[in-house]
Amino acid sequence: MRIAMWSGPRNLSTAMMYSFGNRADFSVMDEPFYAAYLTATGEDHPMRAEILAAHEADPEKVSALCQQPGSPHIYMKHMPHHMLDGFPMDWAKDCVNIHLIRHPARVIASYAAKREAPSFADIGFGQQTALYDQIGGLVIDSADIRANPEAMLRKLCKAIDLPFDPAMLSWPAGTRSEDGIWASHWYGAVHQSTGFAGAEGPLPTLEGDEKQLLEEALPHYEALYNQRVT
């Protein structure tokens, strides 16, 4: 089985990668198209130079990596906004495609704490709904996972015909060899974790440009939310 887990940033995606990576029957890949995306767009992201030096930037070569066998399964953490026009997508047709979503108010507040003034393109909601329309797949909400990790992971595993493994519920604290080089900037909280955090509190209140960004993203989130596994 090859799982492509699609999500925007700040979306429980690293914890989900650690969850599947803690299974003995899975290997994982961390945002394999990130360097290709940065090369093609020229975007000035944190640690840009280090990412380009450490990771494959040719989208065709990355596509080939995404088609490699796992051990026996492979879990790939992907971001929809990394898949630019002209980037190969044929590799995804034989994957189990899953779309991980999170309320945009939480995404925006978390992203802005790490990188100032995010744009609509940065947070990936438009690209994710477009990708869902293109390739389909399952939808899961990070809030449902945090509220009851075992119940939701059991439902997800059943939906994709994968036996549930209790090893998915916890992992050792610290870094992983599979982490992208960018982990030192983005993954601080999850490196301190040993499992999924509990349910989140009230939605953050956003103002100004961030509130406008929320209004733009919310219809995309709601469209996918209505399709989620429950």
pLDDT, residue 117, reads 77
Distance in angstroms (rounded) separating the CA atoms of residues 213 and 78: 22
Domain borders along the chain are 2-225
| Sheet containing strand 2-6, strands side by side | 26-30, 73-78, 2-6, 96-101, 138-141
Confidence (pLDDT) at 115: 73
90 alpha-carbon distance from chain centroid: 19
- Note the pLDDT of residue 186: 86
Q: Bridge partners of 99?
A: 6, 139
- Burial label, 86 (beta-carbon count in 10 A; 0-12, 13-18, 19+): exposed
DSSP per-residue string spanning the chain: -EEEEE--SSSSHHHHHHHHHTSTTEEEEE-TTHHHHHHHH----TTHHHHHHHS---HHHHHHHHTS--SSEEEEEE-GGG--TTS--GGGGGSEEEEEE--HHHHHHHHHHHSSS--HHHH-HHHHHHHHHHH--EEEEHHHHHH-HHHHHHHHHHHTT----GGGGB--SS--TTS-TTHHHH-HHHHT-SB------SPPP--HHHHHHHHHHHHHHHHHHTT---
Which residues in 132-144 are b (16+ Cβ under 10 Å) and which e? beeeebbbbbbbb
Mean pLDDT per 10-residue section of the chain, whose length is 230 residues? 93 95 97 97 94 97 93 95 95 96 93 80 91 96 96 98 98 94 91 93 92 95 96
pLDDT at 123: 87
> What topology does CATH give the domain 2-225?
Rossmann fold (3.40.50)
pTM for the model stands at 0.93
